[in-house]
């Protein structure tokens, strides 16, 4: 069973972890949410600077907690794609430098593969094949998993990810950043059926709609028009009902299309991962729908839903078990298809 030091700096969370196979020996995350909140979103240059400041301390912390020395590691991994280019560079350069200094293999990991592997950290991990709904601040995807490194994307958002839609609607409603927790808190006392909101669909060029894809731009526009109409009436905004109605329709769309995709693919297991997977309304609706449709469902542990390095470590352990590692000169890429995650272990380096 390989033991890996893993690093994650793809966006605004600095993270380090020591993982042995699917066991987390140590994990630490430094969040930048409070700093970016004043801007209403992530400022890439600020994120990169904070990663440089935080990562060395996080590495020292997890190594001390794990009780291991660098010589006790079988590899060092970092996220290399996708993400903010400057942010990705911090973990990539740090990981490759440590790997060279200590003579350890380096493994470059796709961030979305890390999220897929977060489900394996639970007590009852799913067994492939299964369908994953990956929903986070930057991604909304339906991915079929047939085994380690065997991924097929079946659905995606054509505009904002669900997490981005939460952030933008929260700003519209005058709520705090990040939008997901703020809307969930406001929605707790609201009526999710008060306002009828559209479930956006994506048209096919030849007619009809993509059955598993998502679009949240029309929903955001509908929220904007609704809020303006209510403001013109002069009455106080019913924030709780607005938040609950928005949260409800997003959760319904995600669950309905995920279940349809699983059935059409002949899969009986549905897995929920990513930062938005922490949303309680989404979890409840998924549980109810899977129960009605006799689908097994799994959730990534709450501690590993948002960006973290433990999930990166699990992905790296899988590749090391298969005898794979990356070129030491592997760079970073702001975008890279998940289906080609295995190409990050090829030589010569792709980027």
Q: What is the residue-wise DSSP string for 155-194?
A: EEBSSS-HHHHHHHHHHHTTPPSSHHHHHHHHHTTS-TTS
pLDDT at 175: 96
Residue labelled with tokens 């301390």: 57
Sign of torsion over alpha carbons 86, 90, 95, 100: positive
**Edge-to-edge strand order for the sheet containing 140-147?**
150-156, 140-147, 130-135, 269-273, 296-299
pLDDT at 39: 86
Yes or no: say if 85 and 28 are a contact pair by the CB < 8 Å rule.
no
Two structure tokens written together for 120: 């394996």
Rounded CA separation 272/269 (Å)? 10
The CA dihedral of 315, 320, 324, 328, to the nearest 10 degrees, is 80
The CA dihedral of 324, 325, 331, 336, to the nearest 10 degrees, is 30
- The H-or-E segment that residue 250 falls in is helix 239-264
Task: Name all domains of the chain by residue range, CATH numbers in brackets.
Answer: 3-116+306-345 (3.30.420.40), 123-299 (3.30.420.40)
Rounded CA separation 305/114 (Å)? 10
Yes or no: say if 259 and 295 are a contact pair by the CB < 8 Å rule.
yes
pLDDT at 209: 95
Rounded CA separation 159/165 (Å)? 9
Rounded CA separation 45/23 (Å)? 33
DSSP E strands, the chain: 3-8, 13-20, 23-31, 75-81, 106-110, 130-135, 140-147, 150-156, 269-273, 296-299
pTM of the model: 0.96
DSSP state, 329? T
Rounded CA separation 248/284 (Å)? 11
Helix, coil or strand: residue 21: coil
Two structure tokens written together for 130: 């299964």
User: Mind listing the pLDDT tens digit of every residue in the chain (351 residues)?
Assistant: 899 999 999 999 999 999 999 999 999 999 998 888 888 889 999 999 999 999 999 999 999 999 999 999 999 999 999 999 999 999 999 999 999 999 999 999 999 999 999 999 988 999 999 999 999 988 999 999 999 999 999 999 999 999 999 999 999 999 999 999 999 999 999 999 999 999 999 999 989 999 999 999 999 999 999 999 999 999 899 999 999 999 999 999 999 999 999 999 999 999 999 999 999 999 999 999 999 999 999 999 999 999 999 999 999 999 999 999 999 999 999 999 999 999 999 998 989
CB atoms within 10 A of CB 173: 18
């Amino acid at each position: 069973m390989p033991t890996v030091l893993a690093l994650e700096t793809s966006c605004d969370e600095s993270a380090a972890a020591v993982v042995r196979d699917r066991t987390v020996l140590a994990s630490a995350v430094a969040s930048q949410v409070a700093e970016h909140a004043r801007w209403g979103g992530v400022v890439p240059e600020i994120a990169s600077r904070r990663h440089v400041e935080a990562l060395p301390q996080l590495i020292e912390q997890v190594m001390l907690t794990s009780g291991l020395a660098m010589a006790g590691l079988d590899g060092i991994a970092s996220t290399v794609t996708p993400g903010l280019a400057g942010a990705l560079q911090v973990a990539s350069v740090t990981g490759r430098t440590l790997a060279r200094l200590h003579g350890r293999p380096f493994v470059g990991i796709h961030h979305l593969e890390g999220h897929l592997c977060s489900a394996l950290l639970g007590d009852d991990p799913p067994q492939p094949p299964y369908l994953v709904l990956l929903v986070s601040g930057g991604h909304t995807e339906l991915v079929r998993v047939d085994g380690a490194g065997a991924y097929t994307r079946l659905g995606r958002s054509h505009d904002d990810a669900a997490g981005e839609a939460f952030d933008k609607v929260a700003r519209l409603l005058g709520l705090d950043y990040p939008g997901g927790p703020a809307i969930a808190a406001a929605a707790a006392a609201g009526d999710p059926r008060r306002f009828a909101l559209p479930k956006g669909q994506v048209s096919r060029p030849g007619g009809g709609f993509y059955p598993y894809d998502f679009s949240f731009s029309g929903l955001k526009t509908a929220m904007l028009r609704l809020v303006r109409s209510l403001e013109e009436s002069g009455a106080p905004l019913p924030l709780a009902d607005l938040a609950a109605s928005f949260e409800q329709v997003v959760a319904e769309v995600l669950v309905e299309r995920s279940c349809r995709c699983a059935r059409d693919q002949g899969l009986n297991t549905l897995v929920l991962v990513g930062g938005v997977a922490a949303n309680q309304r989404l979890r409840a609706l998924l549980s109810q729908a899977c129960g009605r449709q006799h689908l097994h469902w799994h959730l990534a542990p709450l501690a590993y839903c948002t960006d973290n390095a433990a999930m990166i470590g699990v992905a790296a352990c899988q590749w090391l078990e298969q005898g794979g590692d990356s070129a030491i000169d592997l760079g970073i890429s702001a975008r890279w298809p998940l289906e080609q995650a295995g190409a990050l272990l090829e030589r010569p380096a792709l980027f």
